[in-house]
Amino acid sequence: DCLPLYWPPAKSMAMTMFRTSIGHQNDTLVVPCRKRRITMCVDYYICIFLIMMMHLDAGKQYGVVAFSIQPSLTKKTAAIRVGGTWLGAKKTATFGMGCFWEPAESLLEVEGVLGTVAGYTGVVDPTKKPTYDSVCFGRQWVEGVRVTYDDEVLSYAELLDRFEEAQNPKMGSRQYASIIFTANDDEHRLASQWLQKAQENERVTGGWPAKLTTIESSTPFFQAEGWHQNYWKKVRIRAAIVVMLLVLYNGGLDRLHIFQDTPELQKTIETGALALALGGGLATLLERVIDTNVMELE
């Protein structure tokens, strides 16, 4: 179990880790957590709350502008990102994997992967930030997935195997191409060795032969609009809520026989359920109009 972070010595320890990790991307700050999923998330947010509220001056001193958490419900750890830097990360890797929604989610299930970001890459010297429309209607940009991983748990070669399994590219499409973006000579060497071996073995994953995967040098990576992040997870939750509301509207309460004596109240609830379902659909559409921020990541 996680040491209760509201206990003063634990709070001091957490702050010590925070102070020594800021500005050092190679340092590791991984928060152990409890076995139950609910208490996991609670512990993470308690930790961040304490650091922000009790040590706000330290945050200003180190130029911290934002905190975010990437909990892993399967590995009982969480990585903490401060001002865009993953403190619990060792390395990052970028891939073109087809439509980025599904691969970005699938890779989160891989042991050693701390986080993923859906974004746009593939242009060497972009003159302006891309948008989803410019990517869809252009021929330069690639839908990419930036993977943050712990190389003490997952090697780059192993990550390439997971990349191959998770990708879903389309032939003849730059936007949905299968590309390994290498950031340095070591990554290029390992990627070349891996790809050569895959091609020699004539590996085919999901109908996609390895010989159609290419290697390119890393280019600027832009985090896509917010509604693209954790896309399918949000869609599943929203769809479940809408279905539940529509069931209520279409007589789902009749079988419960709760409102036999108050039919007017039941009618009000059914009308409210329909209104919420329609409002949720409208909010999803508005999200695409409002949540349009695209930012370049280091």
Residues labelled catalytic: 99
Half-sphere CA count of 5, side-chain side, radius 13 A:
23
Q: Give Cα 193 to chain centroid, integer Å.
A: 28
Closest CA to 125 of 140, 143, 144: 140
User: Residue 89 carries which DSSP code?
Assistant: -
3-state secondary structure of 126: coil
Number of neighbours of residue 180 by Cβ within 10 angstroms: 24
User: Which residues, in sequence order, are bridge partners of residue 222?
Assistant: 120, 296
Q: Give Cα 180 to chain centroid, integer Å.
A: 19
Whether 97 contacts 103, CB under 8 Å: yes
- In 122-199, the DSSP E strands lie at 142-149, 178-182
Q: Could you tell me the two tokens for 145?
A: 């997935």
Rounded CA-CA distance 105/84 in Å is 20
Closest CA to 164 of 115, 129, 213, 236: 213
Cα distance from N-terminal residue to C-terminal residue, the chain: 34
- In 91-167, the DSSP E strands lie at 91-97, 113-121, 142-149
